[in-house]
Structure formats: structure tokens, C-alpha cells
Structure 1
Amino acid sequence: MDCWKEAMGRSWIYPTLIICINGFFSTMRPSEAFLTPYLTGPDKNLTIEEVTNQIFPVWTYSYLALLIPVFLITDYVRYKPVLLLQGISFIVTWLLLLFARGVLAMQAVEFFYGMTTATEVAYYAYIYSVVSTERYQRVTSYCRSVTLLAATLAALLGQLLVSLAGVSYFHLNAITLASVSLAFLCSFFLPTPHRTMFFHRKDGPEALPAPQKGLDSLRPEDRDSGSDGQGPAPQQQAEGAQAQSSVLRVLVQLSKDLRDCYSSRKLLYWSLWWALATAGFNQVVNYIQVLWDFRAPSHSSAVYNGAVEAIATFVGSATSMAVGYVKVNWDLSGELALGIFSAMDAGSLFLMHFTDNIWACYASYLAFKACYMLLITIATFQIAVNLSMERYALMFGFNNFVALAIQTILTLVVVDSKGLGLDISTQFLIYGSYFTLIAGIFLIRSIYTIISIRCRNTSVVGEGINQ
């Protein structure tokens, strides 16, 4: 039996299966689409102003504070402990949601939820460390498909239980707690990787693409080879020095890689859109339920949040898949697409602000999410196509960090009660103006690019004729 487990642990099928099961149950959260009605309802009895201006901003702040430390620690401790930490954070989040009351307790909920989102980096990073490079595309598609399926099913299940079975929001949260607890248990069955992207490069039998030179080449036993007979204290000092040296080398290499990545104008512009748009997208998703509850109060109207989220996830995944079948010269037309679809996002947000019809708000949200998912898929492909896996992960992580920093500024200025503390309708006017700015930047940039290319082609043709 032990031999069988060891053989399964070495294969790519076993860890892929376990991480997909983990991803399914951790994403299977039917109560999430009904968070605002739950908090403002009789279970927690909070006001919409408390939820918007005091509670929800804590998630953004905690996510920003934890993202960089978790990113580095995740690689150093070989992923599995961080996946276990994610499971614990999920469980604490939903235990507090179920049994705690008051603004301070719900702020604690948002802090622990920020920890779960910060630890999401371990989900994909783990699978890249236990499978060979030729299987990256396949296992990525499996992991991504499982989480999209779980998100769609969770939202749909939540809507059916609320609308048809009359299940309370409290019991929806109990179902979510059971699901994330199963995900936590699955994490224990994951084999611990022997190699990682940055800190543990030489431990495994197979190197990752474009490896750095010898981050772990100075082993303690090699460094102490001439110190036979010495006590454990010098050896511990050597190990401590090696760990510090390894961390320093990784940080220096990361800074060099970032500089090289952003030296490419093409990657710089795609990354700029990524950071700006992701900040706005996360802000909209974080507060959309508050807007829906403002347009159609949950205590007096039927709530269809789950159905809308299920359709939005499905439409978003369909548009993402469609990108693979569209033949477009993205080098020429990519920035134009960023400008046009960002303008459509801005229009959707303006409609959410100006309309009082909840169905128009739902439809606008569907259009907004579909446009963003389409563009983020294109940006992901354009950024990743010429990068090694290490730089791929590093650049995406840094782009998300910049996005989160921008989102934190938006939250602090627009939402937080210590800032402007704007009402939810005015907030969406600000978000629409924000996406208008993004659209303007990339439309102007795309026009400049197209004109420059045509002028170059014209000059080349003219030179050819003169010769």
C-alpha cells in the first residue's frame, strides 16, 4: 500500500486530482452571492452604510497587506502549508459569519477572507511544482475549469435553494462551511513538492523552464565538509547563513526579472491595462451586491443574485474560450480592443448608476463581466506567450499587486467612511468615469500605433519605388 501511495504521489494524476477536488470545494460557496442580504437582514441586522463604508473595505486592506508576504512564503514553504492555511482561513471566515455579530466581528470576517484570497496563489503554483512542463497546459485547464464549474454551480444552487426551497441565508452559509471544510481535508492528502519556482530549484529530478543558477547549490553539508568533528552550533549557523543567502539571491533575481519584463513596451502596456482594469473590476464585484440591494431591497423584493452570478460566470467563461478561436493580429489591434471593450464596461457602469430598474442593473453587470473576462484572457495570453513559468508567475503576481494598490486607493478615497464615504450609486458613477479614463488611454494609444505603422509602411513602399 505504501509503495502504491508513493507511486501515485510521483505521478501527475494524483496531485492534479486532489488539487482539483480542493479547488472545487473551496469555490463551491453558494452563500457568497447573498452576502449583502445576509448581513443587512435579520441575522446580522447591519445597515447598508456599515456594510459598504466600514466592513467591505477591510478585505481590500488585508489583501494588500498580506499579498507580498504570502507570495514569498508560499514558495519558500513549498505551497502545501499555505493551502492548509487557506483552508483554516475559510473555516474561520464562515464560523464568524455564522455565529458572530456586530461591525467589529464582520470586519474580522473580511480580514480572514482577505487571507484566503491572498493565499490563492498557492493553488496554481502548487500544481506547476509537481507536474512536468509538458503537462502545464493540460493541468491548468483542468484546475481553471473546475473552479469555474464550481462557481457556476454554487451560484445556481444558492439561487434554487433560496427561491424554490425557501432555505435561509444562515443555512446557505452552513452549507458553505461544510464545503470549505471538505476542501481543507483534501489539502492533507496533497504530496509535498520537492521543488518550487524560486527557492527550491535543485531538489527535484526535473528543472523548471529557464532555471536560475544554483539558488540552492551551496548545501550545508558541502559548506561544512572541512569541519568534521565540530558541534551542531556551527552547522546551524551555516544553515542559517545559507537560508539568508538564498532569500537574498531570490529577491535580487526577482527584481532583475521584473526590470527585464517591463523593459518590453508591449508587455508594459498590456500590464498597465491589466492593473488598471483589474482594480476597477474587483471594486465593482466587491460592491455590486450592495447596489442590487439598493435598487431592490432584499427585505421586500425577490433576490436573484445567485442566478445572475451563475449566468455571468458562464458567459465570462464562454467569452474566454472564444478568444482561442478568434484569428486577430493582437499586436496591431490589441490596444484598440482594450479601448473599445473598456468603453463598453464604462457604459455598463454608467447604466447601473442612472437606472433604477434592477433588471437593467443585472443585464449591465453581465455585459461588464463578459467584456472584462474577454480582455483579461487576451492580456493573459499576450503577457505569457514569451515568458518562462517563473517570469509568468512573477509578472502576474506583480500586476495583481499594482491592481490591488490602485483598488486600495479607490476604496480609501471613494468608499471608506474615513474618506469620502460616498453612497453606492455615486460610487458606480466614479467607477464608470474610471473605466472611461482607461478606454481613453488605450483608444488614443491604439490610434497612435495604427497611424505609426501605416506611416512606416508608406515610407517603406516609397523607398522601394524610388529605388
Structure 2
Amino acid sequence: MAGCCKQYTDNWKYPTILLCLFGFFVNLRAVEPFFAAYLIGPHHNLTAEQVSASVFPVWTYSNLALLLPVFLLTDYLRYKPVIILQGLGMVISLLLSLLTHGVPAMQVMEFFYGIFSACDPAYYAYIYSVVDIAHYQKVTGYCRSITLVGVALGAVIGQLLVSLAGISLVYLNVISLTSTSVAFLCSLFLPLPSRTMFVHRKMAGDTTNILSKEMESPHSEQIQSVTITETENKSKCSNQCLQLLWRLGAVLSFLVGYVKVNWDVFGELALTIFSAIDAGAIFIFMVYSRNIWMCYAGFIIFKSCYMLLITIATYQVAVNLSMERYALLFGFNTFVALVLQTILTLIVVDPRGLALDIVTQFIVYGSYFIVIAGIFFVRSMYLLIPLYCKGPVNQLQSAIKAKTHHYGIN
């Protein structure tokens, strides 16, 4: 019996299921879409200015400050302790928001939320240290899609309870606390990676273009922030838009795990196409359209493509690493993204910078994605043209098949 249990826990499915359960429950936070209203409401009675100027910025600063030591230490700690810390950070954050009051207490609450956010790279890095490289594509799709399912279901539950049952936001916080507590318990049962982090089980190709694969991250979050802020007077529509977005993103992320494409050969071409679609969605639907529903449609197209791209990029990064320093690279990418987002905000949005109007901001974002699409296009041609020029199409197909076999894709 013990041998049977040991064999099951050593299987790649066991840590994948546990990690997906953690990702689902930790993101099943019904109070999340209403959190600002919860702080301004009768339970805390803070002003909108206190929330926006004194409370929420603590998360940004703490996340940025904690991210650097976290991603430097995560690989040495072997991921599991950091995932446990992530779950604990969210539990403490929700407890403080439920039991304490006042601006200083809410700032401490945001600090623990910053701990949760800073530990996020460990969630995506952990699975690559406990499963074989042949399963990387599937587990990437599973782990990303399940978090989006949790976010979508949490938003739906919150919206239904508030709109139909008229339930207090305090009870939404209790539901969220219960869910994150379950996630914390799941993290305790994750198996600790046993193999050394300095030797990858299967050496993979070039890593020179890894950082370029996540260049879109800061601008995706910036566009989401601006879009939702500008439509906050239609908050119910915004919530429904986000619910649809998370569902669509979950489906796309899940399907990526089953697409039989050699991303090492065609990955940059896919990034080119979807980056161009993102640019088109920004210009056609958000810049030149004055209809709110067209803006929502453009935002859904843009963010769905981004979720698809980030899933592909994460899988490709993990496959191409020659040493198991997943958290170091994922964390560094996140850190760079936060720095770029801060710089972008200071230049484009902040009154101390250019303080551009909303339409001009989106022109800047769309132009950025055109540049990104151009970079990926040049890279894709650099990879594909030499393969094609070496001989007939069947030789190109043979090269693709050889690379496919190398990465364990049937």
C-alpha cells in the first residue's frame, strides 16, 4: 500500500493536480471585483482618496521591493516554501481586511497582498521542477487555465451574490478567506522537488531570445488598468466583460497544452501574428471607435491574445532553460515588467510626465505592439528562412520533425 502511494505521488499528475487546486482556490476570491467598494463601504468607511492614495500604492511598492529577494531565493528554497508563503500571505491579507480597521491596518494588509503577488513566479516555476520535460506543454496549459477559471468563477459568484441575493461584501470576504485557506492547505501537501537545480534533465536549445518573449507583460496590465478605469461608471458591464475574458482566457490557455505545434520553430511566428492582432485590436477598437461595446470587444480580443501568448512563452522559456533556474528567470521577467510599467506610467500617464489623454495613450500602446510584432517577425524569418533554403520542403519538414522529437512532442 505504501509503495502504491509512493508510486502515485511520484507521478507527474499528483503535483500537477495539487498545484492546480492551489491555483484555483487561491484565485477564487469573490470579493476581488468589489474590494475598493468594500474598503469604502460601511465596514471600513475609508474615503476613495484614502484608498487610492494611501492604501493601494502600498501593494505596488511592496510587490516591487519583495520581488527581487523572492526570485533570487526561490530556486534555492526549491519552490514549495515560497508557494506556502504565497498562500499564507493571501490568508493574512484577507484576515486583516476582515478583522482590522483604519488606514495603517489596511496598509499592512496591502503589504501581505504584496507578498502574495511577489511569490507568484514560484507558482509557475514549481511544476517544471517536478515533471518531465515531455509534459511541460500540458502542465503549462493546466496551471495557467485553472487560475483563470478560479478568477472567473470568483467574479461570477461575487456578482450573483451581490446582484441577486443582496449579500453584504463582508460575507464575500469570508468566502474568499475560506477559499484561500483551502489553497494554503493544498500547498502543504506539494512534494518537494528532489533533483538538483543546476542540471536540466534534458538540455534544450538557444536561450538568447527568452527575455523578449515576455516584453508584452507591462503593457497588457497598463491597458487593462486604463480600460477598466475609464469605464468604471459602467462597473456592472466591466465585471461582465472581465468574467467573459477570464473564461475565454482559461479555454485558450487549456487548449495550448494540446496543440501539436513545434513552438521552437514556429513560436516567434505565432508571437508575430498575435502581437499584430493585439495592435489591431488597440487601434481599430480602442483608438478609432467611440462605441463602448466596441472598446469592450477590442479589450477582450487583446487580452485573450495576450493570455494565449504568455502561455506559449512560459512553456518555451521552461523548455529552453539549460539549468533549472525557473523562478530566477520568471521572477526577473516580472521584475523588469514592473519596472517598465512604472516607467511607462510616469512618462505617459503621470502629471509629472507627458500626461497624455486617453486616446493618445492607446496610440502609444498600439505603436508599441507594432514594434513588438516587427521584432518577432524578424526573429521568425531568421529561424525559418535558413531551414527552407537548405533544401526542398521535405528537408524543412525533416528538420522540424527532428526538433519536435528533441522536445518530446509526438
Task: Give yes or no for contact 1:340–1:443 (8 Å, CA) kept in 2.
Answer: yes
Q: 1:285-341: per-residue Cα shift (whole Å, max 9, x none)?
A: 456544332x33x6xxxx344432221012223445676478998478556525522
* Matched-pair contact (CA < 8 Å) for 1:209–1:389: no
Partners of 2:384 and 2:266 in 1: how far apart? 16
1:345–1:432 CA contact under 8 A, matched in 2 = no
User: Does residue 438 of structure 1 match 2:378?
Assistant: no
Unmatched tracts of structure 1, length 5 or more: 202-206, 212-256, 461-467
What pairs up with 1:46-445 in 2 under 5 angstroms? Answer: 46-198=46-198, 208-210=201-203, 261-262=207-208, 267=209, 271-272=211-212, 274-275=214-215, 277-286=216-225, 289-293=228-232, 295-296=233-234, 303-320=236-253, 324=259, 330=266, 333-334=269-270, 336-337=272-273, 340-347=276-283, 350-351=286-287, 357=292, 359=293, 362-380=296-314, 386-388=320-322, 390=324, 394-411=328-345, 428-429=358-359, 431-442=361-372
Cα distance change of structure 1 residues 409 and 449 upon mapping to structure 2, 3 Å threshold: closer
Shift of 1:177: 0.6
Shift of 1:134: 3.5
Counterpart AA for 1:435: Y
Q: Deviations over 1:386-441 (max 9, x none)?
A: 44473666544433221121112234566679x5697xxx6754641331331342
Compared with structure 1, are the counterparts of its residues 42 and 196 closer, same or farther at alpha carbon in structure 2 (3 Å cutoff)?
A: farther
Tell me the equivalent position of 1:36: 36
Whether the 8 Å CA contact 2:282–2:362 is kept in 1: the answer is yes
Deviation, structure 1 residue 77: 1.9
Closer, same or farther in 2 for the Cα pair 1:291/1:45, shift >3 Å?
A: farther
Question: Does the CA-based 8 Å contact 1:284-1:431 persist in structure 2?
Answer: no
The one-letter code sitting in structure 2 at the alignment partner of 1:292 is T
1:51 & 1:361 partners in 2: Cα distance? 27
**Contact kept in structure 2, 1:159 and 1:305, CA below 8 Å:** no
Q: What is the deviation of 1:92?
A: 1.4
User: What CA deviation, in whole Å up to 9, does each residue of 1:59-99 have, x standing for no partner?
Assistant: 23222222231123222122222122112100111122223
Q: Which amino acid aligns with 2:219?
A: G
Distance 1:95 1:63, change over 3 A: same
User: What is the match of residue 204 of structure 1?
Assistant: none
User: Does the 8 Å CA contact 1:292/1:361 hold for their aligned counterparts?
Assistant: no
Structure 2 residues not aligned, in runs of 5+: 391-410
The 8 Å contact of residues 20 and 143 in structure 1, kept in 2 or not, is answered as yes
What do the CA deviations read for 1:339-396 (whole angstroms, capped 9, x no partner)?
A: 52232343378459x8585x55544432331232244345446655644473666544
Equivalents in 2 of 1:86, 1:412: separation in Å? 29
Change (3 A) 1:431 1:168: farther
Amino acid aligned to 1:30: A
Structure 1 pair 8–336 and aligned structure 2 pair: CA distance change class (3 A): closer
Take 2:125 and 2:269, find their aligned partners in 1: how far apart are those partners? 31
Q: Output the amino acid matched with 1:309.
A: L
Q: Counterpart amino acid of 2:244?
A: I
Partner of 2:29: helix, strand, or coil? coil
Deviation at 1:455, TM superposition (A): 12
SS at match of 2:78: coil
Give the number of aligned pairs.
387
**Separation in structure 2 between the aligned mates of residue 451 and residue 444 of structure 1, nearest angstrom:** 11
Q: In 1, distance between residues paired with 2:134 and 2:380?
A: 37
Contact 1:338 1:442 survives alignment (8 Å): no
Provide the C-alpha distance between the structure 2 equivalents of 1:332 and 1:181, rounded to a whole number of angstroms. Answer: 40
1:76-132 Cα distance to aligned partner (Å, 9 max, x none): 122222122112100111122223344443333332222112212222333333333
What is the TM-score when the length of structure 1 is the normalising length? Answer: 0.68
Larger gyration radius, structure 1 or structure 2: 1
Identity %, equivalent residues:
43
Q: 1:210 to 1:442 in 2, by over 3 A?
A: closer
Name whichever of 100-109 and 84-93 sits farther off. Answer: 100-109
Would the aligned equivalents of 1:332 and 1:449 in 2 still touch at CA under 8 Å? yes
- Residue 176 of structure 1 deviates from its aligned partner by 0.4
Per the alignment, do residues 151 and 166 of structure 1 end up closer, same or farther by CA in structure 2, a change over 3 Å counting?
same
Root mean square deviation of aligned Cα: 4.2
Answer whether contact 1:78 1:195 (CA < 8 A) is retained: no
TM-score scaled by structure 2?
A: 0.76
Counterpart code for 1:340: A
Q: Which residue of 2 aligns with 1:246?
A: none
Q: Which residue in 2 is equivalent to 1:227?
A: none
